[in-house]
């Protein structure tokens, strides 16, 4: 028993670390509605800067003074990011800022590598708190004890700052209704900058405090951002106290899993410590299903869009259809055109897979208005469905491919049923939780899926075993998939879906079952995405958990936003541009991440409504068009 109590203390000290970074994220999201993926990068930079202070200056001052200085520096970095970058794109369509922060993640990671080098940097122990005290007959590091108290202390300070000061009132008001705040004459620009700086300050503080516990390393940014999002959502967006409760809940669940360790169930042993892989996402799924706005969250006030209203979508004109057929012909003849450089076809397959992924994601994100952060789940179900059928049942290739959309469809039906009951960022995070659960299942179920190594040896068979035929097969499936999605959008189903997005109440009033329509949309998008996964498995000859991780979901979001979420061709262009860019840049330079991030930043600033969105503004528009 005492060991469980002691593990609860460990959980509390871990929770404090999580709380700082989550609190900052929650504040920023609450006020600015920016999904700040770069928040983890600020945390990482915090650890690096604090390491430099602690080792270069050294001693009491270098360590403790360094932590304060680091938090201030990171806060300033945050303010600079807000002023130079984000302020320019607040009027872009919803979620577009995510693209900018994604680019920042890439740039900051490479900048950190360049400044501090590749080696892990373990800071010194905290001066004054080097040892351990005896609690419950065990050794508890004094630094952990310090962390257990500093978390709630900062929570109380923040709570009073938000409750009692004018700044706090403005923050709370803006979280509830930022248009109203701005209408009342509050300078929004200053408020946003201040909140961004405060959020970054907290993140930097959290990172700096870790310097005595873990080495500064380049993987911290992505490791921490996932956890932070989970904490924020479980606690309820915008609620600082909720964030602390959630951090404690998650840290305690993990500590409990570790404390239980290996348990024998009559000869069948389960290692609970392996559950820590997915514990937070299980907690999040359960909390969101039971309490759709998190533990202490409230329903979000409607954000009246600050972006320009979206144009209705229009079917292609006859001239454009003709042009389209011509292009398709060129694509079909590509194997002949590209005879001397077969790599075009290899890359072509990858681009077409990306197109399927992005187009299906856009189907629910754009016209459906449901932002999915876990689209990789359906890609993964398709890929694994195909690969396992081929591997275990020696199914022929086409049968394996046929299984891809089916399995993805089933998964999307199941997850979608829960997801469409939520909205906004909660929906997004629930999809992410499901995707992580799929990922973890694939990762853990070693007997079936090959665990972290994945399934290898899934190659296309005749007649698709040449580059040309496989390319043509992929092209055919991609064209069918994209046209199918388009067909749905121009059918009554598509209109009903958009009606449900734009005005759920009115749509319900005229007899549309909005949830049902959105649920089916989820399923359709999942199935089309699954096809992409199936092709992927054959194209690479293998599939492993990494391929279906968070990274792929984020890549999908980037593609859709890059192309332009408000247009139908946007995701296709975005996917093509992004996939090609990545392939090209990875070859060009050692610091390819920074370069890719830099290019995305330029695109973000140049085309704040996506590439196609920007082009469409210049295109001449006929008034007599339907």
Partner 1 sequence: MITTRQFLQIAFAGVCTVAFAQSASAQGTIKIGELNSYKMQPQFLDPYKKGWEMAIDEVNAKGGVLGKKLEVISRDDGGNPGDAVRAAEELVTREGVSMIAGTFLSHIGLAVTNFAGQKKVFFLAAEPLTDKITWQNGNNYTFRLRASTYMQVAMLIPAAVAAKKKRWALVYPNFEYGQSAAENFKTLLKKAQPDVEFVTEQAPPLTKVDAGAVVQALDDAKPDAIFNVLFGADLSKFVREGNTRGLFKNRTVVSLLTGEPEYLDPLKDESPVGWIVTGYPWDKITTPEHKAFVAAYQKKFNDYPRLGSIVGYVTFKSLAAGIAKAGSTDTDKLIAAFKGLKVDSPFGPFVYRASDHQATMGAYVGKIALQGGKGVMVDFKYVDGASVLPSDAEVKKLRPAP
Name residues contacting partner 1, limited to 330-359 (CB under 8 A): 330-331, 334, 337-338, 340-344, 346-348, 350-351, 355
- The single residue listed with the structure tokens 């694939």 is 442
Nearer to partner 1, 502 or 546 (CB): 546
Q: Report which of 302, 296, 103, 75 is spatially closest to residue 195, judged by C-alpha positions.
A: 75
Show the binding pattern over residues 573-592: x = contacts partner 1 (CB under 8 A), - = does not.
Answer: x-xxx--x--xx-xx--x-x
**Taking a C-beta distance cutoff of 8 angstroms, is the pair 288, 426 a contact?**
yes
Show the binding pattern over residues 499-538: x = contacts partner 1 (CB under 8 A), - = does not.
Answer: -------------------------------------x--
Q: Which helix (H) or strand (E) holds 134?
A: strand 132-135
Q: Which helix (H) or strand (E) holds 138?
A: strand 138-141
In angstroms, the CA 132 to CA 126 distance is 12
Residue 150, both tokens:
């500093």
Region binding partner 1 by CB under 8 A among candidate stretches 68-76, 82-90, 158-166, 541-549: 541-549
Candidates 65, 292, 451, 598: give the one binding partner 1 (CB under 8 A): 451
Candidates 432, 593, 595, 610: give the one binding partner 1 (CB under 8 A): 593
**Taking a C-beta distance cutoff of 8 angstroms, is the pair 252, 18 a contact?**
no
Nearer to partner 1, 557 or 594 (CB): 594
As measured in angstroms, the least distance from the Cβ of 207 to partner 1 is 14
- The single residue listed with the structure tokens 């092209």 is 475
By CB under 8 A, residue 572 contacts partner 1: yes
Candidates 454, 532, 534, 613: give the one binding partner 1 (CB under 8 A): 454
Show the binding pattern over residues 215-244: x = contacts partner 1 (CB under 8 A), - = does not.
Answer: x-xxxx--x---------------------
As measured in angstroms, the least distance from the Cβ of 145 to partner 1 is 11
* Dihedrals phi, psi of 271, to nearest 5 degrees: -95, 100
Nearer to partner 1, 306 or 479 (CB): 479
Nearer to partner 1, 128 or 301 (CB): 128
Region binding partner 1 by CB under 8 A among candidate stretches 77-85, 138-146, 231-239, 425-433: 138-146
- Range 97-136, binding partner 1 (CB under 8 A): 113, 118-122, 125, 130-132
- DSSP H stretches of helix in 514-591: 514-540, 550-563, 570-588
In angstroms, the CA 211 to CA 129 distance is 13
Q: Is the peptide bond before 311 cis (omega within 30 degrees of 0)?
A: no
Residue 21, both tokens:
């970074």
Residues 6+ apart with CB under 8 A from 405: 382, 527, 528, 530, 531, 534
CA dihedral sign of residues 584, 353, 110, 594: positive
Candidates 185, 266, 457, 511: give the one binding partner 1 (CB under 8 A): 457
Q: 3-state class of 269 per DSSP?
A: strand
Nearer to partner 1, 22 or 237 (CB): 22
As measured in angstroms, the least distance from the Cβ of 308 to partner 1 is 17
Nearer to partner 1, 243 or 440 (CB): 440
Candidates 36, 200, 542, 566: give the one binding partner 1 (CB under 8 A): 542
Candidates 169, 321, 506, 516: give the one binding partner 1 (CB under 8 A): 321
Q: Give CA angle at 414 (412, 415), nearest 5°.
A: 65
Nearer to partner 1, 369 or 563 (CB): 563
Region binding partner 1 by CB under 8 A among candidate stretches 31-39, 165-173, 230-238, 320-328: 320-328
- Range 258-287, binding partner 1 (CB under 8 A): 258-259, 261-262, 271, 273-274, 276-277
Nearer to partner 1, 316 or 406 (CB): 316
CA dihedral sign of residues 533, 534, 540, 541: positive
Residues 6+ apart with CB under 8 A from 360: 375, 378, 481, 485, 524, 525, 526, 528, 529, 532
């Amino acid at each position: 028993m005492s060991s469980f109590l002691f593990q609860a203390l460990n959980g509390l000290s871990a929770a404090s670390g999580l709380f700082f970074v989550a609190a900052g994220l929650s504040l920023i999201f609450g006020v600015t509605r920016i999904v700040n993926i770069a928040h983890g990068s600020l945390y990482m930079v915090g650890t690096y800067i604090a390491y430099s202070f602690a080792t270069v200056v050294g001693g009491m001052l270098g360590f403790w003074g360094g932590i304060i200085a680091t938090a201030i520096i990171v806060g300033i970095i945050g303010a600079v990011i807000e002023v130079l970058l984000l302020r320019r794109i607040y009027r872009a369509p919803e979620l577009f800022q995510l693209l900018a922060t994604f680019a920042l993640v890439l740039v900051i990671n490479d900048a950190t590598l360049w400044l501090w080098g590749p080696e892990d940097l373990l800071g010194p122990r905290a001066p004054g708190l080097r040892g351990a005290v005896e609690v419950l007959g065990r050794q508890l590091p004094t630094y952990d004890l310090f962390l257990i108290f500093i978390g709630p202390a900062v929570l109380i300070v923040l709570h009073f700052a938000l409750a009692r000061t004018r700044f706090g009132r403005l923050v709370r008001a803006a979280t509830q209704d930022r248009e109203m705040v701005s209408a009342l004459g509050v300078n929004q620009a200053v408020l946003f900058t201040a909140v961004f700086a405060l959020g970054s300050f907290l993140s930097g503080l959290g990172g700096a405090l870790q310097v005595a516990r873990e080495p500064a390393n380049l993987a911290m940014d992505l490791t921490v951002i996932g956890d932070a999002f989970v904490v924020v959502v479980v606690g309820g967006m915008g609620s600082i106290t909720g964030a602390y409760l959630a951090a404690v809940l998650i840290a305690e669940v993990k500590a409990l899993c570790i404390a239980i360790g290996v348990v024998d169930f009559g000869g069948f042993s389960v290692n609970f410590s392996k559950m820590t892989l997915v514990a937070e996402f299980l907690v999040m799924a359960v909390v969101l299903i039971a309490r759709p706005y998190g533990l202490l969250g409230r329903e979000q006030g409607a954000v009246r869009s600050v972006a320009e209203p979206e144009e209705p979508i229009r079917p292609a004109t006859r001239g454009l259809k003709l042009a389209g057929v011509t292009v398709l012909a060129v694509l079909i003849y590509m194997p002949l055109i590209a005879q001397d450089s077969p790599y075009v076809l290899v890359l072509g397959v990858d681009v077409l897979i990306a197109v399927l992924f992005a187009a299906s994601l856009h189907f629910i994100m754009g016209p459906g208005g449901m932002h999915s952060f876990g689209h990789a789940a359906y890609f993964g179900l398709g890929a694994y469905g195909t690969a396992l059928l081929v591997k275990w049942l020696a199914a022929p290739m086409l049968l394996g491919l046929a299984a891809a959309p089916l399995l993805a469809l089933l998964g999307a039906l199941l997850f979608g049923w829960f997801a469409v009951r939520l909205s906004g960022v909660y929906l997004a995070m629930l999809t992410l939780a499901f995707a992580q659960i799929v990922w973890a299942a694939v990762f853990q179920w070693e007997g079936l899926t090959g665990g972290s190594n994945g399934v290898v040896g899934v190659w296309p068979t005749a007649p698709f075993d040449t580059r040309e035929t496989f390319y043509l097969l992929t092209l055919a499936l991609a064209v069918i998939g994209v046209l199918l999605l388009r067909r749905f959008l121009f059918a009554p189903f598509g209109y009903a879906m958009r009606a449900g997005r734009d005005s759920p109440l009115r749509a319900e009033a005229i007899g549309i079952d909005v949830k049902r329509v959105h649920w089916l949309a989820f399923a359709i998008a999942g199935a089309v995405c699954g096809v992409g996964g199936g092709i992927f498995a054959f194209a690479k000859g293998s599939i492993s958990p990494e391929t279906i991780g968070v990274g792929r979901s984020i890549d999908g979001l980037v593609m859709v936003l890059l192309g332009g979420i408000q247009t139908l061709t946007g995701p296709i262009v975005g996917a093509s541009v992004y996939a090609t860019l990545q392939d090209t840049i990875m070859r060009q330079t050692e610091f390819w991440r920074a370069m890719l991030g830099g290019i995305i930043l330029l695109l973000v600033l140049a085309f704040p409504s996506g590439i196609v969105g920007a082009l469409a503004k210049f295109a001449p528009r006929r008034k007599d068009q339907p």
